[in-house]
Amino acid sequence: MYSEKLPEAIDLSHHLSEVSKARAISPLKGLQKYMTKPGLITMAGGTPSPEYFPFSTVSGETLIPESFPLTTQSSSSFSWFWKIFGAGAGKKEKTTSFTINKWPAHTGDLNLATALQYSPATGLAALQKIIQEFSQKVYQPSYKNFTTLIDAGNTDGWGKAALTLLNQGDGVLCSEWTYPSALAGIRPWGIKTVPIAMDGQGMRSDSLRETLATNGTLRPHVMYIIPVGQNPTGATMEAQRKKEIYDICVEFDVIIVEDDPYYFLQQSPYVPKDQRADEDAFSRTSTEEKFIAQLAPSFLKFDYQGRVIRLDTFSKTVAPGCRLGWFTCNPQFAERLERAGETSTQAPCGFAQVMVTSLLLNWHYEGYVRWLRALRLQYQERRDAFIDALADAFQLDMAIEINGHRKGSLVYHASLKPERQFSEKSTMRYSKPLFSFVPPSSGMFVWLKLHLEEHPSYTAVGYKALEFKLWTALADHGVLFGFGSMFSASTVTDETKGDGHFRISFSSTEHDDMKKAVSTFALVFREFMKD
């Protein structure tokens, strides 16, 4: 077997936080060696009788894995119109159904008597098995004894990982722009952020090395990173950069927490509408295996020591309300994370566990990957529709970025189109574009850089006030974007110089609304620049 040749995880217990080390083995843990005794009469736990669970059965009707196509539909019939012109107009979506009974008909059947009972923080055996096999097949960790453990989604997972590894006053390495809730979760505990400069692939390895080399004994020993469809920039880190970063983390003994919710939403490069083909690189892959092979590798693929804690979630691939995800990490960390689970969330919700397990048992691995292949294309089409709308409303010009956090990327610079070509004076020409962006390579967001230098008040109030002013004007006109400054990992910034940013999500807005939002944006931005 593949993994047999691999090394085992090394001892990394010196990274455990004081809180984590102090977590006792669960008081009930001592009972577990007796639990498997045949005919055991257990009167130890405060477990209600399943007879009194008022649910006799729960059922689900689920879409088939082939519900969405693998090739781009013609640009006038976006697949989310299916709801209106397809299912919504009488054409029924294809589903299969399952039912889970309270009592199992055969040993090992999923059943509510077990799923809705108290259970170890490791969750249902069938789900454990699915997750372990999935991580093995897809991420291929480079050490033998990797362990998977379910959690209540990546926010929960990151919180548990952070407090398992970090003490008050410790620093966390992160990208200079990053997911604000990840920081909001740890800052109240007195944990500091140490931002690392980015380029078009995300975190820079040279900046990482420089930070670690100059921090001496106070240097951070934990990294938080979103390597695919980086939030907010949309950047995806390729194999070479990941290997560089991994090797630096080995050298400086850093644990990598890989938060990867957008892994399966990897997208082909944006191609302007008139040059776009029905097929793209991802669609051309003919099998599930080839699709998986084409995805940027996880940090786990380089992890021969067990220093990566990978966070996976069903939030983006099934539904956020599942509140279900999992860790993949070395057994030493998994054991401490399990202890953390026992005294907080316990096992994730039993309803979610049976629902997701049933879905995945029905779909099988191949069906799930088929679902993911189509899902990424759906989000790619949404991304393309949004950028197409920007191209309709603004003048877009392309250039390779040579500086800053987008270095090396193909950037689209947007300028206002003339208001009315002849009837008005051309008062609104600016020497620089109004905003610019890199089409994301995964995920759900377009990260706009706002070029506000030519705004009349720029020198007086600075970019941050202007960013907020434009954001507020847009909100007042009925369009809500994410404002950029909340994604900054720096606690101290120069508020007067720099660029504003918006993070715009294209993941769930209808096509017509996208177009409307972009028109409003053009209109409001034009007015905004006048004063």
Contact positions with a second copy (CB under 8 A) in 470-509: 475, 478-482, 486, 503-509
User: Applying CB under 8 A, which of residues 16, 110, 115, 131 lies at the interface with a second copy?
Assistant: 115
User: Applying CB under 8 A, which of residues 75, 276, 344, 473 lies at the interface with a second copy?
Assistant: 344
User: Applying CB under 8 A, which of residues 12, 15, 20, 130 lies at the interface with a second copy?
Assistant: 20
- Nearest-CA neighbor of 412 among 290, 517, 515, 269? 269
46 belongs to the binding site for a second copy (CB under 8 A): yes
Pick the closer one to a second copy by CB: 205 or 436. 436
Least Cβ distance, residue 208 to a second copy (angstroms): 25
Least Cβ distance, residue 24 to a second copy (angstroms): 6
**CA angle centred on 330, ends 324 and 334, rounded to 5°:** 45
Q: From residue 174 to residue 203, what is the string marking binding to a second copy with x (rule CB under 8 A)?
A: ------xx--xx-xxxx-------------
Q: What values do phi and psi take at 115, rounded to 5?
A: -65, -30
d(CA 71, CA 408): 29
Alpha helices in 169-259 (DSSP H): 180-186, 205-214, 239-251
Distance between start and end Cα atoms, the chain: 67
d(CA 10, CA 330): 9
User: Applying CB under 8 A, which of residues 282, 371, 447, 525 lies at the interface with a second copy?
Assistant: 371
Least Cβ distance, residue 110 to a second copy (angstroms): 12
51 belongs to the binding site for a second copy (CB under 8 A): yes
- Cβ count near 335 (within 10 Å): 13
44 belongs to the binding site for a second copy (CB under 8 A): yes
Looking at residue 23, the DSSP 8-state letter turns out to be -
380 belongs to the binding site for a second copy (CB under 8 A): no
Least Cβ distance, residue 345 to a second copy (angstroms): 6
Least Cβ distance, residue 252 to a second copy (angstroms): 27
- Name the one range near a second copy by CB under 8 A: 2-10, 31-39, 210-218, 280-288: 31-39
47 belongs to the binding site for a second copy (CB under 8 A): yes
- Name the one range near a second copy by CB under 8 A: 108-116, 298-306, 408-416, 428-436: 108-116
294 belongs to the binding site for a second copy (CB under 8 A): no
User: Applying CB under 8 A, which of residues 7, 48, 169, 456 lies at the interface with a second copy?
Assistant: 48
Question: Which residues in the 220-239 window bind a second copy by CB under 8 A?
Answer: 231
272 belongs to the binding site for a second copy (CB under 8 A): no
445 belongs to the binding site for a second copy (CB under 8 A): yes
Looking at residue 315, the DSSP 8-state letter turns out to be T
53 belongs to the binding site for a second copy (CB under 8 A): yes
H or E stretch covering 465: helix 458-476
Least Cβ distance, residue 381 to a second copy (angstroms): 11
**CA angle centred on 449, ends 446 and 450, rounded to 5°:** 125
User: DSSP string spanning 426-441?
Assistant: -TT--SS-SEEE---S
109 belongs to the binding site for a second copy (CB under 8 A): no
Question: Which residues in the 383-442 window bind a second copy by CB under 8 A?
Answer: none
129 belongs to the binding site for a second copy (CB under 8 A): no
Pick the closer one to a second copy by CB: 186 or 237. 186
User: DSSP string spanning 185-200?
Assistant: HHGGGTPEEEEE-EET
User: Applying CB under 8 A, which of residues 15, 23, 221, 242 lies at the interface with a second copy?
Assistant: 23
Contact of 233 with 406, CB cutoff 8 Å: yes
- Cβ count near 168 (within 10 Å): 11
80 belongs to the binding site for a second copy (CB under 8 A): yes
Least Cβ distance, residue 378 to a second copy (angstroms): 6
- Nearest-CA neighbor of 267 among 240, 228, 241? 228
Q: Give 501's strand partners.
A: 449
Tokens of residue 279, six digits: 């097929």
Q: Give 97's strand partners.
A: 61
- Nearest-CA neighbor of 398 among 387, 408, 388, 413? 413
Least Cβ distance, residue 335 to a second copy (angstroms): 14
376 belongs to the binding site for a second copy (CB under 8 A): no
CB burial readout 233-256, b (16+ within 10 A) else e: bbbbbeeebbebbbebbeebebbb
Q: What values do phi and psi take at 391, rounded to 5?
A: -65, -30
User: Applying CB under 8 A, which of residues 166, 228, 444, 450 lies at the interface with a second copy?
Assistant: 444
- Name the one range near a second copy by CB under 8 A: 61-69, 288-296, 393-401, 523-531: 61-69
Which residue type occupies 435? F
Question: Which residues in the 308-337 window bind a second copy by CB under 8 A?
Answer: 315-316, 318-324
User: Applying CB under 8 A, which of residues 1, 2, 56, 89 lies at the interface with a second copy?
Assistant: 56
User: Applying CB under 8 A, which of residues 149, 203, 352, 393 lies at the interface with a second copy?
Assistant: 352
CB neighbour class for 530 (10 Å; exposed up to 12, middle 13-18, buried from 19): exposed
